[in-house]
Amino acid sequence: MQNQPSLSISHLYLVVETMQRRNGALFGSLYYCVVLCLIAIVNAEDPYRFFTWNVTYGDIYPMGIRQQGILINGQFPGPEIYSVTNDNLIINVFNNLPEPFLISWNGIQQRRNSYVDGVYGTTCPIPSGQNFTYKLQVKDQIGSFYYFPSLGFQKAAGGFGAIKILSRPRIPVPFSDPADDYSILIGDWYTTNHTRLEKIMDLGWRLPFPDGVLINGRGDGGVTYNVEQGKTYRLRISNVGLQNTLNFRIAGHTMTLVEVEGTHTVQTSLSSLDVHVGQSYSVLVTADQPPQDYYIAVSSRFTSQTLNTTAVLRYANSGKPVSGTPPPPPDNDISWSLNQARSIRTNLTASGPRPNPQGSYHYGQINITRTIKITGSAAIIDRKQRYHVNGVSFTAADTPLKLADYFNISGVFKVGSIPDEPTNNAPYLNTSVMGADFRAFIEIVFENKENIIQSWHLDGYNFFVVGMDEGRWSETSRNTYNLVDAVSRCTVQVYPKSWTAIYLGLDNVGMWNIRNEFWVRQYLGEQFYLRVYSPVMSSRDEYPLPQNALLCGRAVGKSS
């Protein structure tokens, strides 16, 4: 019963795509309309999944010390969201914290609906003691993602969880069904609580280094994954931490990379995997070793201090507990990691969320209409430690930017308050919003002049990672771009004193956060919003404000 609409959609795409190929561009738009109209009808039948979440503080002991964690339905990490492409997710969140709470959905594109993106600039927080129902659709998406609390430093207290989006039943996946499918949330962790961390940053001081690394909310040796010999398992690994790149590996086993943030990759064998903060990957692991326990080891990378932790891979009928030392990480070598990143390619013949091959969208043949250069850096502003993008350190206004836009409230932000390139001006504070045209196809070059690794995330979009290298970017760097099978994802690392270039098709109208996932830097201004604008105010391009939207700041009392 629930499969019915999925079947009809995939069938429809096949029919329409075949017809488009036969008839050429002349009838393309007509069929486009036919597709849209039919989807509009079918859409209403996409399955619904309902969730009720109770958000509270509760005692957790991830590193043996009692801490106040943010729990969802008593759990830390929060419950996993299991879904299938195009599912509607109706999530009623009761905020029983003594402070406002807001959830964002890392990697969920919120097509035409930035109102529900759940970041400061798009969505009002849920006041303490109230509830709010997020209505999301995982439209045209597959893959591994996660949700997290986006306000302040709440992410350092928990409130995060995994999101899985499976392919619809009739759409082929380029590997056999795994025996099980585990979400593994890894991240660095402080034993100091988030309000204390916020206070330190608000005073303009630097935060200490994190205290440890957690695997699914547990400290060293705290989690066991059960496997049976001869079977193959999918592990979805997300780095939900605050700053550190983490290397993931399993003693005695290799991993096969199969998916990166919604893209099926060319399947390559890895002995270990660097997961930068904010990123998600799927690997397959076959239990092909003698039945015993094996270390799963996670270590921080590229910093003078190394944080390590372990979990356990336990075979059924295991004859031996883990012993000895966990497998070491690779050398702290940028070029090792850079080479691994460059080796990740899209499997062009595999299906994505739709039955057509991922390679049928020829991103390398589309002309670029604009180049944006982004440099995130540190600066002291008004005698406080701040971070900025192209000289502008983001500060929140009193009203979500998307609501100010919707209700035409002036004076909240100004489009163009951040330049397209770094400048030589002294860094300053502002509510930075960059304007961009709906349907433009742009290039963004992230340039990192610092000694630390950066990890940039775009809300609302996946983009093609066309190039990355050490040194300075120049126009001739374009000659090295991968214009054929670059991976499409939503979070990308920029190595120290290096650059990363992406191609981005702006097909999603809305107000979208672009941020460094290094959470201190995000908190202290290394972020901005991209306002993707269409002069044609059409619900085909952007949905109206959700009827249940909370209103706050200067939007209080407005009606749509």
Ligand X SMILES: *[C@@H]1O[C@H](CO)[C@@H](O)[C@H](O)[C@H]1NC(C)=O
Residues that bind ligand X (CB under 6 A): 54, 56, 68, 92, 94, 96, 131-133, 172, 174, 193, 195-196, 266-267, 299, 306, 308, 328-329, 347, 349-350, 367, 395, 406-408, 414, 417, 429-431, 537, 548
Strand 527-533, strand 432-437: pairing: parallel
CB of 227 to ligand X, least distance (A): 22
CB of 439 to ligand X, least distance (A): 13
Token pair listed for 28 = 């393309």
The answer to whether 200 and 152 are in contact (CB under 8 A) is no
Pick between residue 94 and residue 225 the one whose CB is nearest to ligand X: 94
Token pair listed for 351 = 């299906």
Token pair listed for 441 = 């196809």
In order, the DSSP letters of 27-60 are: GHHHHHHHHHHHHHHHHTTS-EEEEEEEEEEEEE
Angle at 32 between CA 31 and CA 35, to 5 degrees: 85
CB of 1 to ligand X, least distance (A): 26
CB of 430 to ligand X, least distance (A): 4
CB of 272 to ligand X, least distance (A): 12
**Residue 221 amino acid letter:** G
Pick between residue 35 and residue 550 the one whose CB is nearest to ligand X: 550
Instruction: Give CA separation, 324 vs 222, 327, 552, in Å.
Output: 17, 9, 56
Pick between residue 308 and residue 340 the one whose CB is nearest to ligand X: 308
Pick between residue 5 and residue 353 the one whose CB is nearest to ligand X: 353
Pick between residue 300 and residue 377 the one whose CB is nearest to ligand X: 300
Residue 274: in which H helix or E strand, if any?
strand 273-275
The answer to whether 265 and 487 are in contact (CB under 8 A) is yes
Closest CA to 313 of 215, 245, 217: 215
Pick between residue 65 and residue 537 the one whose CB is nearest to ligand X: 537
CA distance 326 to 101: 38
CB of 487 to ligand X, least distance (A): 13
Pick between residue 196 and residue 320 the one whose CB is nearest to ligand X: 196
The answer to whether 431 and 457 are in contact (CB under 8 A) is no
CB of 319 to ligand X, least distance (A): 25
Closest CA to 158 of 134, 194, 125: 194
Pick between residue 183 and residue 309 the one whose CB is nearest to ligand X: 309
How many residues in the chain?
560
CB of 316 to ligand X, least distance (A): 29
Strand 232-239, strand 180-189: pairing: parallel
What φ, ψ does residue 206 adopt, rounded to 5°? -85, 145
CB of 196 to ligand X, least distance (A): 5
3-state secondary structure of 404: helix
CB of 472 to ligand X, least distance (A): 25
Q: Give the 3-state DSSP-derived string for 86-128, with helices as H, strands as E and coil as C.
A: CCEEEEEEEECCCCCECEEEECCCCCCCHHHCCCCCCCCCECC
Pick between residue 92 and residue 371 the one whose CB is nearest to ligand X: 92
Pick between residue 35 and residue 429 the one whose CB is nearest to ligand X: 429
Pick between residue 5 and residue 69 the one whose CB is nearest to ligand X: 69
CB of 212 to ligand X, least distance (A): 9
CA distance 56 to 473: 47
Strand intervals (E) in 287-327:
293-300, 308-315
